Amino acid sequence: MKVQQEELFNILEEVGTFLPRLIEASNAVADSFYIPIQDDIWPKFGDVVEGMDDLYRTVNAIIGSPNLTKNMTILQSSLEAFVSDMGDRFSKMNQRMDAEMYVEAADQIIYELIPLFKKLQHQLSPYQNKLRLEQYNKNLNFIQERFPHVHRELLLVQDSESVEIFSAQDGTLNLLIDSAEEEEKVPFYSRYNPKREAKIWTEYTSAQLEGKRNVVLYGLGLGYHLEELSNRFESHQFIIYEPDVQVFRNTMCVIDLERLFSRDNVKDLAVGPKKNELDQLFYRFLRKVKGETIIISLPVYNRINRELKQKFADEARLAVLNFAYSKSAHGKFGIQWTQNRLYNMAVNIDSPSLIGLKGQMKNKPAVIVGAGPSLENDIEVLRELKGHIIIISAGSSIQSLLHYGIEPDLIVSMDGGNPNYRLFKNLNIDHIPFVYAPQVEYHIIENRRENIAHVYFANDLVTQVLMGVTHEDPVFGSSHSVTGTAIQAAAYLGCPHIAFTGQDLSYPNDSIYAPGSVHAPEGYYERVMSIATFEVRNVQGGINRTTEAMKLTLADIEEIVSRYPDVSFTNCSSLGAVINGAEYRPMSDFLGEWIKENGDADFFRKAFQAYLKPYGKERKSVAISKVNELPELLDRLDQQIALIRKQMVKLPEWSRTKPLRCLNAMVAIEENWELIVKSILFNTLFMAAIENEISNFDRRVSEIAEENDVIKKSNLFITVLGPLVDAIHERIPLFRDMFQQTILRIEARTSSVTAEV
């Protein structure tokens, strides 16, 4: 079928190549009939008539071809109309020739047949395979260089018949696209004049864009709207999102994207519905955004796939909230998390990762236990299920479980703050398997020797570099709560069914914790209830109070659940919020299904000890060497920062008295700064510890490059780069001490292990 379709495209291409020659010959012959006829015109006229006849027969054959696919419906109807019109007009021309009405015959050729041929030429232009392939490859090279993340996505996509290219009445290219709401395909633009439509829409939309600096354009299509917008609003910054990857692939066949994106105001592009692509787009945008932002949609997307558009709007709102949450968290805990990651290196090196248990629990359901009020209702069922399933304690729920006399099979912890340490401080749990992420508060695990393993977070570059993490290691996505980490752990173990209890993700009946949870400080309840001004649906059909932070946590858990379509999720939290992707069922429903034989209350600990093995000597040695190199790397960075600070002090004076020297100094600063931003420490340690300061710099750094006035440029060096340089300088002594402590901790733990052996 593929070969036959290629033959069809070859025929279409041949017709497209033939038409300009036929048009030229027809014009020349027709002109000869307006003057006294010469004998040499008749062979030429015969050739033209033969060419017209061949064209008619070829197009007729194409119409009857079984290789016309679903995405050629417009082409088929166009060809059928052409055959009908040509037969009529060709017949009239012959009648006039037979009657020796040569001027009228010439008029018929020039004003009836040639326009028909030109129209067909436009209609066939989207199917000129060679030209399309050349344009596609040119665009693919451009995309690889300018937007590599889009290039990677395009390589994974297969062709589809959901989109068709055709020519509008004025010859402008257009698209037909599948609609989720309508049975027939929908034209992307006006069927008559797409560019006029785009121009009028832009004029109408202009008022909304006044006073805005950033425009997120939902939809690209063939770029007509973007071209109008970027020409009219040259100072605005445009971020483009095309939700339909097939639309984008077809656009790449016929539009020069390098020319379309040639203006500096097109800043970013994302294509396709994948959430990670959207997340990265929002993250890149939010890190650098300045000024007000507006989201506008191409008109066709107000008509088709409205659900996808609403999802985009919801994701955008979540991205803004998550970014604000992350910014706040890094401002409060960035240094502490970095300290935890460094100090926990001693335990990382000495303990196994979870890799040995990957996929080993394919026959065991898991229940992830939270500390929400509804846990109390499931305690007795959990007690019966002990030994038959994997009971996973997510963070603080360990207090409640122990309060009821139930020991979980696994504890998962990742919180890096002091409250988490207070929670675990006096618990006798060393015999219970414990999985941590390296940002966990370091006191919690520093003295654990057995029944401990770790996973890595994808955003923890500090640990990844020091431990030499590869794609084979258990690398999880970071999450708002330990429940998200526990879900990923259970899925990594291979559990086919994951249930939740005590995961209320809201405050049912204005309650916060299950009985036994005592880690909340005084006044905590009042503070939480004072900001619990939001509402969510609960599993019983009612409404629970919640906070904005808890809503973000719920959305985060739902997103993690969606990553595992092969895992069955059930929400057993009888008072909790609805969790999309996890249908509510009482846990008691599963007693008969999950209790099949005599249980073993110790089965998971046995597996934990049997399957998990420590790292080999070589990997441990390499990790220790990397840690030992940190002080030297920091000294080198300290020297570079000191040099930049020294150079920056002189900039204000030199900008006024010695402008050339000032320019040279700024060039030197940029060269030294480039060395810093390429360093391992900057891209791991400082990227985590002072992320907000780096984000603020990223948001304004373009101002330095765009400024040409020496005095203003030097001031921007001071006000934009200066705070980040100072932030690094201020933290160097702190990190120097952390490095020393990290080395001592590794030496102490290594010596202790050696002594025990």
pLDDT attached to residue 757: 46
Query: What is the sign, positive or negative, of the torsion defined by CA atoms of 735, 741, 745, 751?
Result: positive
**Range 515-526 average pLDDT:** 68
Token pair 């490859």 in the structure block, residue: 137
pLDDT attached to residue 69: 60
> 293 with 213: CB under 8 angstroms?
yes
- Assess whether pLDDT exceeds 80 at residue 676: yes
pLDDT attached to residue 3: 41
Which amino acid makes up residue 16? Answer: G
- In this structure, the number of other CB atoms found within 10 A of the CB of residue 310 comes to 10
pLDDT attached to residue 135: 86
Confidence class for position 1, pLDDT limits 50, 70, 90: very low
pLDDT attached to residue 132: 74
Q: Measured in Å, how far apart are the chain's first and last C-alpha atoms?
A: 69
Please, what is the Cα angle at 717 between 711 and 718, to 5 degrees? 95
Confidence class for position 452, pLDDT limits 50, 70, 90: very high
**Residue boundaries of the structural domains of the chain:** 1-133, 163-304, 332-611, 617-756
Per-residue H/E/C for 397-410: HHHHHHHCCCCCCE
- CATH architecture under which domain 163-304 falls: 3-Layer(aba) Sandwich (3.40)
pLDDT attached to residue 11: 83
Confidence class for position 225, pLDDT limits 50, 70, 90: very high
pLDDT attached to residue 281: 87
- Percent of the chain at pLDDT exceeding 70: 95
Secondary element (H or E) of residue 370: none
Which residue has better confidence, 628 or 532?
628
Confidence class for position 610, pLDDT limits 50, 70, 90: very high
Q: What is the pLDDT of residues 625-640, one digit of tens each?
A: 999 999 999 999 999 9
In 3-state terms, what secondary structure has residue 36? Answer: coil
Helix segments in 475-616, DSSP class H: 482-493, 524-531, 548-562, 591-594, 603-611
- In this structure, the number of other CB atoms found within 10 A of the CB of residue 470 comes to 8
Confidence class for position 65, pLDDT limits 50, 70, 90: confident
Token pair 């299904």 in the structure block, residue: 593
* 718 vs 666: CA distance, rounded Å: 11
Least confident stretch, 59-63, 266-270, 630-634, 670-674: 59-63
- Percent of the chain at pLDDT exceeding 90: 65
**Range 370-388 average pLDDT:** 94
- Assess whether pLDDT exceeds 60 at residue 519: no
Confidence class for position 264, pLDDT limits 50, 70, 90: confident
- Assess whether pLDDT exceeds 90 at residue 63: no
Could you tell me which CATH number the domain at 1-133 has? 1.20.120
The arrangement of strands across the sheet holding 173-177 comes to 163-167, 173-177, 186-187
Confidence class for position 408, pLDDT limits 50, 70, 90: very high
* Encoded tokens for 348: 């990382």
Query: What is the sign, positive or negative, of the torsion defined by CA atoms of 151, 156, 162, 167?
Result: positive
- Assess whether pLDDT exceeds 90 at residue 142: yes
* 575 vs 586: CA distance, rounded Å: 11
pLDDT attached to residue 723: 94
* 258 vs 135: CA distance, rounded Å: 11
- Assess whether pLDDT exceeds 90 at residue 287: no
- Assess whether pLDDT exceeds 80 at residue 32: yes
**267 backbone dihedrals φ, ψ, rounded to 5°:** -95, -30
* Encoded tokens for 671: 């060269």
Q: Count of residues for the chain?
A: 757
- Assess whether pLDDT exceeds 90 at residue 476: yes
Least confident stretch, 152-161, 385-394, 468-477, 520-529: 520-529
- Assess whether pLDDT exceeds 80 at residue 71: no
Cα distances from 586 to residues 341, 571, 590, in angstroms, run: 39, 8, 8
Q: What is the pLDDT of residues 176-190, one digit of tens each?
A: 888 766 777 889 999
* 718 vs 193: CA distance, rounded Å: 52
Secondary element (H or E) of residue 346: helix 345-350
* 370 vs 378: CA distance, rounded Å: 11
* 371 vs 539: CA distance, rounded Å: 17
- Assess whether pLDDT exceeds 90 at residue 517: no
Closest Cα partner for 153 from 269, 321, 233? 269
- Assess whether pLDDT exceeds 60 at residue 732: yes
pLDDT attached to residue 122: 74
> Over the chain, what is the mean pLDDT?
90
